[in-house]
């Protein structure tokens, strides 16, 4: 079928989710289950169960997303330098018994949470040299995306909009540029606000979508998780199905070029 492979692992679901901002562990559990996600990202620095053995003694996030059932994707949210991000990844690998798949984020600004692409390039090189499989959060700059692929990142994860904004895909041109040139999976990471945003990302040719706030901050997170599951499938199928051409009129064959709509 239409499986998706990253870093040698193959998945049926193209929706990746996070674990932040939920009311409690039960809601986290219900929403993630409803989403159908197989890959779940966790902020290393904000997940005590990952870094503090004490935290594992009571019910914790790893009970909700057990490594036996999910592919964990530890991420470096909150790191502002390459050095910090690399150290954080190494800590996670140690605590997770050698797990070497990570999502690299080197943040450049605390408001937009946009990446610092220079530091991201430095950290990616170092992590890859150290044996990590690096899925990388980046801007939507196609030149930077190519560079990150060239140095060995196993997935490119451009932002669609600011993390936690729900503003949707700001620049379709750049997403298409990245998708068309990439030889590794491209996943939209950040900016999705509602189901149609996720569908659009997939229709642009992305291999997957990662999101968190859009589910966790919906009025009904579990129902929104279901919506996202359907939306990613819908967008993927529409991409593979080859959409009809846009036309000014049903009957006419006048070219659409240069029409202002």
164 binds its own copies (CB under 8 A): yes
Q: Which residue of the set 21, 69, 83, 103 is catalytic? A: 103
Does 103 qualify as catalytic in the annotation? Answer: yes
Smallest distance from the beta carbon of 112 to its own copies, in angstroms?
6
86 vs 228 by CB, closer to its own copies = 228
83 in contact with its own copies (CB under 8 A): no
213 contacts its own copies (rule: CB under 8 A): yes
Q: Let me know the angle formed at the C-alpha of 197 by 170 and 73, rounded to the nearest 5 degrees.
A: 95
Footprint (CB under 8 A) of its own copies, residues 16-45: none
Q: What angle do CA 10, 143, 153 make, to 5 degrees?
A: 30
State which H helix or E strand residue 38 sits in. none
214/166 Cα distance (integer angstroms): 6
Q: Which is nearer to its own copies, 129 or 256 (CB)?
A: 256
Task: State how far the Cα of 175 lies from the Cα of 187, in Å rounded to an integer.
Answer: 10
Tell whether residue 167 is a contact of its own copies (CB under 8 A): yes
| 259 counts as binding its own copies under rule CB under 8 A | yes
210 touches its own copies (CB under 8 A): no
157 is a contact residue toward its own copies (CB under 8 A): no
Closest distance of CB 199 from its own copies, Å: 4
| Contact between residue 155 and residue 148 where contact means Cβ atoms under 8 Å apart | no
Cβ atoms of 28 and 18 closer than 8 Å = no
As a whole number of angstroms, the distance between CA 178 and CA 156 comes to 9
- The footprint of its own copies on residues 129-148 (CB under 8 A) is 139, 141-144, 146-147
Helix pair angle (82-95, 117-129), 10° resolution = 40
Chosen residue from 203, 208, 209, 210 binding its own copies by CB under 8 A: 203
Cβ-proximal residues to 91 (8 Å cutoff; 6+ apart), any chain: 44, 51
Quote the least distance from Cβ 255 to its own copies, whole Å: 6
**Separation CA 165–CA 195 (nearest Å):** 14
Q: Does 13 bind its own copies (CB under 8 A)?
A: no
Per CB under 8 A, the list member of 68, 97, 110, 150 interacting with its own copies is 110
Q: Tell me the catalytic residues.
A: 103
């Amino acid at each position: 079928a239409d499986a998706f492979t990253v870093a040698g692992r193959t998945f049926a679901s193209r929706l990746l989710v996070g674990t932040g901002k939920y009311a409690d562990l039960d809601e986290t559990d219900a929403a993630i289950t409803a989403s159908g996600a197989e890959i779940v990202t966790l902020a290393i620095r904000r997940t005590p169960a990952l870094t503090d053995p004490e935290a594992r003694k009571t019910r914790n996030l790893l009970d909700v997303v057990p490594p036996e059932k999910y592919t964990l994707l530890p991420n470096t949210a909150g790191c502002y330098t390459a050095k910090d991000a690399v150290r954080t990844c190494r800590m996670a690998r140690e605590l997770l018994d050698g797990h070497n798949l990570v999502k690299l984020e080197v943040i450049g600004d605390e408001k937009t949470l946009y990446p610092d692409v220079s530091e991201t390039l430095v950290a990616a090189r170092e992590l890859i040299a150290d044996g990590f499989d690096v899925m990388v959060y980046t801007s939507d700059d196609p030149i930077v995306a190519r560079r990150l692929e060239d140095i060995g990142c196993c997935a490119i994860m451009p932002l669609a909009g600011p993390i936690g904004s729900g503003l949707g895909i700001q620049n379709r041109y750049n997403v298409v540029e990245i998708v068309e040139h990439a030889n590794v999976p491209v996943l939209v990471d950040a900016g999705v606000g509602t189901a149609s945003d996720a569908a659009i990302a997939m229709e642009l040719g992305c291999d997957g979508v990662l999101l968190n706030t859009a589910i966790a901050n919906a009025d009904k997170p579990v129902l929104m998780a279901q919506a996202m599951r359907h939306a990613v499938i819908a967008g993927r199928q529409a991409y593979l199905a080859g959409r009809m051409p846009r036309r000014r009129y049903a009957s006419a064959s006048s070219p659409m070029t240069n029409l202002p709509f």
